[in-house]
Structure 1
Amino acid sequence: MNSQLSALLLFAAAATLHSQPTDTVSIPGSEATFQLALIPQGTLVWEEKEGTSAELQLDAFWIGVHEVTHDEFILFQHRENDSDASLREDGGFSADAVSRPTPPYLDYTYGMGSTGGYPAVSMTQQAALRYCRWLYQKTGQFYRLPTEAEWTYACRAGQSWQPDEDKLNEYAWHYDNSYEKYHKTGEKAPNPWGLYDLLGNVAEWTLDYYQKDYLEALGDQRHNPWVEPTRRHSRTVKGGSYDSEPRECNCLIRQKSQARWQARDPQIPKSIWWNTDSPFVGFRIVRPVQQPGAEAIEAFFESAIKD
């Protein structure tokens, strides 16, 4: 292959890789920023082992290019890191009024890293949702966790992307290459839509209540489907982590959150904020392109957050 053709192929690959529009968002009152990628509307063909399948229609949405970092999460976690700065048009944000995580019982990072670009970890799904609510209050834009369908669609870059195990090291930190710890976000290659660490590093919360038979749980839902929670446990976690076998770092594999992730929590009842035993779980955020109204946003959080 001549050098000119090689250069053209590399240019084409780069253009495909970074073809999704991005948006850089600043968190008011801080130096923290995060980046979102625009995921186009489309169809996800969901297939189950029993041979059943369904076409799921998804509206366009923005999703975090990286997992939410510790640097971002501590602005919500600690009052002293926050301020009353907000972009909300009604000017109704007060940092003193925010419900924030209680101090964790253990070092939730297990010494693997915090500031400087490491993923935020060990929070419950409810804590991740409360972070989204705080971010909405700070920015005036509605943020939430991705649904399982949205996460899978973004991971597969539409429908088909999934690296073979012999190529997985290029994209994911997993048990065989992670040295049993998570790493800074964005150190591996992104998927074709420019999203980093969807596979490996830390597994990621989704919005959905976990049901073994996903399509059955959806019922007739085919447009922006969501298995809405009815109680606190369990939720669907996706992507695998630094502690996962390579075969588990797969866009299609579903993981069920476990009560034992709070095994060392001495509180009764257990914390609504922290999982003492899941430093391998974090999250990334979604911002719908079509923003709902304020009443619908508050109704969503009231419905999704189950203490």
Structure 2
Amino acid sequence: MPREYVHEMNKGFRSNRKANLVGSSNEVNVWLNNEEAKALLDTGSSVSTVSKDFYDKFLSEIPLSPISELLHIECADGESLPYHGYITASLRVNDHALSDQMIEALFLVVPSRRYHADVPLLIGTNVLDILLEMTKNTYGVKFLQNAQLTTPVYLAFRCITLREKELAHNHNVLAYVKSAECKRITVKPNSEAVIQGYLQRKIPYHPTCAVTHPTPRSNIPDDLDISSVLVTYDHNQTCTIPILISNVSTRTFSIDPKELLCELQPATIQSLSIQFKIISKI
């Protein structure tokens, strides 16, 4: 075989290897406040973002709302996600099943990166969940088959649907919490103890707010009360969470290392609007 031909074959092999190293992105065209742009559909993100450059160029009439003291978001590498604030904007997705649906969505305004030059938007589950429910209400439980979704939207919705099915199959349990303490913890009568716990049997689920909840799988006596605590669940993160246990009995109990303490279930935080009616008495 001629040397030149072998050289060309090697060049083609190296080129194919590079091409196979990076796959295609799950991107879709959208309109944000009537400005057309590309958006990455990210089922692994619980927030949606827009680049600062896109905001400055097309959305600067929308005031930025600061939430730096209320929200801390981590990237996949554990680093904090910087942002300038958030905006509320109207969103419409270029998809047959969604093209006539306009929703008001919240977007974090984040520093611009090189990728944002072509794809300035990222749509996370805070928006995808709403779009999925709208599609399901229109096309029924078999919306994935009936809605004629474009491939990016179909893949995002299918991922979320399979994730929810796995959660339901796991009895709404994201993970179990076991004691991470190296020694036995004693809880005296009418006292409390904080035990550091680690997550086990985690299911792959997007980062979400979760609440500690007693589990029937635990051998902890009923006289020990597991306090409900809100935590951020991320199955990719390895960390411990504090579990508050109260002993409401007159007996002393001990909790061994690796003892199953409780389980984590997803939680939804909703704002409550409370109205006061003033009644004047004569």
Give the structure with the larger strand fraction.
2
**TM-score of the two chains, using structure 1 as the length reference:** 0.29
User: Which structure carries more relative contact order (alpha carbon 8 Å, separation 6+)?
Assistant: 1
